Structure 1
Amino acid sequence: MNSSTATTVFLPVALGIVMLGLGLSLTVADFTRVVRYPKATIVALACQILILPLVCLGLVLLFDLDPVLAVGMMLLAAAPGGTTANLFSHLARGDVALNVTLTAINSVLAVVTLPIVVNLALSGFLDGDDSIGLQPAKMLQVFAIVLVPVAIGMVIRNKAPEFTERMRGPVKIASIVVLVAVIVVAVWQERENVLGYLRDVGLVAILLCVLSLTIGYFVPRLAKIERRQSIAAAFEIGLHNSTLAITIALSPSLLNSAEMAVPAAVYGILMFIPAGVLAALFARDREPAPIQ
């Protein structure tokens, strides 16, 4: 597969499968559940949208990353959580319903917040005017690749619930396969420099994951949010949708940069280590506090 085919055909289709799978797990109630959990939702979204980009910026400046890799890290930090967060939250005995709600809302908000963060990063690190979002045509593309497959999945679930139940398992497996495939594509396109990039961004990527998980758990706890909801927030905030970040970075009509996709590809591999350790630690508690 050549790079043109990978970026113009495979990646959008791959992301579509992931987002369709998310849509198959959503209902309108998942968007309205914020009324039931207003405090947990607001605190988690504030961490995701406001705090994480600042934390990532601090890491980028501390480690003096190459400007292009710095933009790639900021793109990753601005990406919403994905279905992987729901899986780890389930394993850790978190409130998966809250995860689904946060994923749904954050995916909608990301259509606006992600382009803003990336545009600021492009302006600050590259002094360039090549940006996604804040331009109607490119905003429409981000909307299409993020929300259209989700909407289709929700319609399918509403119209054919039995079919959706049968497909839920296969789609989850397909999403994992797609995640691996997208990471392979991103690494392959930068194969000559991959070891250097691992050295440059590996520590930053894993630190971002660890700090995101830590912030995602302890900030809600400090806000008096109960434990299961805090666990859900930790994984939602700590595990970003690297598939989305890679697709935006590689898309010829958006960022068109294989180098910018490297942080998300590295993160997509390394995030399973701290996430797995944290899930195991949380799962050891057999009697989590009930939701109030």
Structure 2
Amino acid sequence: MQESILTAVFLPLALAFIMLGMGLSLTVKDFKNVVLYPKAILLGLVTQLVLLPLVGYLLIQGFGLTGTMAVGLMILAACPGGPTSNLITHLSRGDTALSISLTAVSSFVTVITIPLIVNFAIRHFGEEGSISLPVFETIVQIVGVTVIPVSIGMFLNQKFPVISQRADRPVRIASAVFFALIIAAAILKERESLPAFLAEAGLVTIALNIITLLAGYYLAKLFLLPKSQQISISIESGIQNGTLGIMIAATLLKNSEMTIPIVIYSLLMFLTAAVVILIHGRRRIT
């Protein structure tokens, strides 16, 4: 994929804006929840940082994916939860504070784990000549479009809480529009090959989504966490930051084909999210 204004400028800026919006809803208290809910936070991080990449790897083996499709799925599996997961958790009557805390903490931790997992995938599944991610430069770039905007958002929320609250809804709407534009641009870029890509990656991406949703839920249930936290961990495990994944594939690796599993996942996850909301949203959570 040739460098373009979309991948070099708009995509990183759009992601930074989305993460800034997430920061506007975060406070220092969200990080204190690591101490308040250590078992829930630890379990949530394990499902995201360990279980998710492991499931992705096993599905790639099971479905026989190779090359760009396999690397694209591993990029997705390496990404943290995104702001969308917080909204879905809220609508599903999950523990929104836990969801926000997991998203925030995992967004910081995956700055380190993403280049390690992605480079492993490129070496293991990539084709000859695949570009590897330089670890230090990748960390710097991911920090620039995720950690720094989130930190700025948190600073603004602390210093100007009233303005931040008023800006929260418009920023969320704008973030949703940016996300939709990014997905549309990726689909347009590969529109001729999309049916074949959908046939190749559709089942494996929906399997990744459903398996991680169920695994997060039942692991939290096994550890006797409250129902609301079971829902939160389930959603944080199964709803990933697709925008970050697309940026890694399209901007850092300059490979539009690697975005296809991520784009397909980003579309299909809304169907499963709707089911989750229907199942839990009308129930009284205790």
1:271 equivalent to 2:272? Answer no
1:282 equivalent to 2:283? Answer no
Please list every run of at least 4 consecutive aligned residues from structure 1 whose deviation after the TM superposition is greater than 6 angstroms: none
Aligned residue in 1 for 2:96: 96
| Residue identity matched to 2:224 | K
CA contact (8 A) 2:210 2:238 kept: yes
| Residue identity matched to 1:96 | T
CA displacement at 1:285 relative to structure 2: 1.9
Aligned residue in 1 for 2:162: 162
Cα distance between partner residues in 1 of 2:65 and 2:12:
28
After superposition, the C-alpha distances for 1:184-205 in whole angstroms (9 at most, x for unaligned) are 1111221221111111111111
CA displacement at 1:178 relative to structure 2: 1.2
Cα distance between partner residues in 2 of 1:214 and 1:12:
32
Cα distance between partner residues in 2 of 1:255 and 1:107:
20
Which ranges in structure 2 are unaligned for 5 or more consecutive residues? none
CA displacement at 1:218 relative to structure 2: 0.6
Aligned residue in 2 for 1:131: 132
CA displacement at 1:116 relative to structure 2: 1.1
Within 5 A, what are the aligned runs for 1:238-277? Answer: 238-251=238-251, 254-277=252-275
Normalising by structure 2, we get a TM-score of: 0.96
| Residue identity matched to 1:259 | E
| Residue identity matched to 1:264 | I
Cα distance between partner residues in 1 of 2:246 and 2:107:
16
CA displacement at 1:152 relative to structure 2: 1.2
After superposition, the C-alpha distances for 1:210-232 in whole angstroms (9 at most, x for unaligned) are 11110111101101111101101
1:208 equivalent to 2:208? Answer yes
Aligned residue in 2 for 1:55: 55
Cα distance between partner residues in 2 of 1:266 and 1:129:
22
CA displacement at 1:155 relative to structure 2: 1.3
CA contact (8 A) 2:21 2:175 kept: yes
Instruction: Name the SS of the counterpart of 1:256 in structure 2.
Output: coil
Which ranges in structure 1 are unaligned for 5 or more consecutive residues? none
CA displacement at 1:75 relative to structure 2: 0.4
Instruction: Name the SS of the counterpart of 1:271 in structure 2.
Output: helix
Greater mean alpha carbon deviation, residues 260-269 or residues 122-131: 122-131
| Residue identity matched to 1:47 | T
Cα distance between partner residues in 2 of 1:209 and 1:133:
28
Cα distance between partner residues in 1 of 2:55 and 2:235:
16
Identity %: 42
CA displacement at 1:115 relative to structure 2: 1.1
CA displacement at 1:22 relative to structure 2: 0.8
Cα distance between partner residues in 2 of 1:88 and 1:140:
30
Cα distance between partner residues in 2 of 1:164 and 1:89:
21
After superposition, the C-alpha distances for 1:136-195 in whole angstroms (9 at most, x for unaligned) are 222211221121111111111112111101100001111111111111111122122111
| Residue identity matched to 2:198 | L
Cα distance between partner residues in 2 of 1:12 and 1:283:
33
Cα distance between partner residues in 2 of 1:152 and 1:178:
19
Within 5 A, what are the aligned runs for 1:21-32? Answer: 21-32=21-32
1:105 equivalent to 2:100? Answer no
Cα distance between partner residues in 1 of 2:124 and 2:33:
37
| Residue identity matched to 1:106 | S
Aligned residue in 2 for 1:194: 194
CA contact (8 A) 1:67 1:125 kept: yes
1:19 equivalent to 2:19? Answer yes
Cα distance between partner residues in 2 of 1:218 and 1:282:
15
CA displacement at 1:3 relative to structure 2: 6.4
CA contact (8 A) 2:115 2:138 kept: no
Greater mean alpha carbon deviation, residues 148-157 or residues 33-42: 148-157
After superposition, the C-alpha distances for 1:80-127 in whole angstroms (9 at most, x for unaligned) are 001111111111110000001000100000101111110110110126
CA displacement at 1:275 relative to structure 2: 1.3
Cα distance between partner residues in 2 of 1:138 and 1:37:
31
